Amino acid sequence: MKGGIEFNLEIDLDLYMYEEERCVKAIEQLLKEHSNDYCQYKYISSEPVFHKPVTLCTTKRFEEVITAIYNAEPKDEAEERALNEDVDFLLDK
């Protein structure tokens, strides 16, 4: 395997639990349809997820929190200049 990618597929969990073999065949067919001359996808495994992920926060909120943490940390002058440049670059400022 040269690389990996994770696909998300919403299906009825009862169907998956009782017809796993057919579901795997269907997933393999869908992966063939999704493949092209540049990317070939092969089924390796699947794992049913019984809940949807919860979004913790937006990108903007995360940037606000990390900036507040950065600003609260004590720094010497040279370190502060270097860190400001890094944070500005990461936040596209």
Mean pLDDT calculated for residue range 19-43: 94
For residues 73-90, give the mean pLDDT: 69
pLDDT of residue 90 exceeding 90: no
Contacts of 36 (CB under 8 A, 6+ apart): none
Three-state helix/strand/coil letters over 52-73: CCCCCCCHHHHHHHHHHHHHHC
Q: Give the separation between CA 70 and CA 81, rounded to whole angstroms.
A: 12
**Residue 18, class by beta-carbon neighbours within 10 Å (0-12 exposed, 13-18 middle, 19+ buried)?**
exposed
pLDDT given at position 47: 86
Residue 77 pLDDT level (bands cut at 50, 70, 90) = confident
Flag whether the pTM goes above 0.85. no
pLDDT at 65: 94
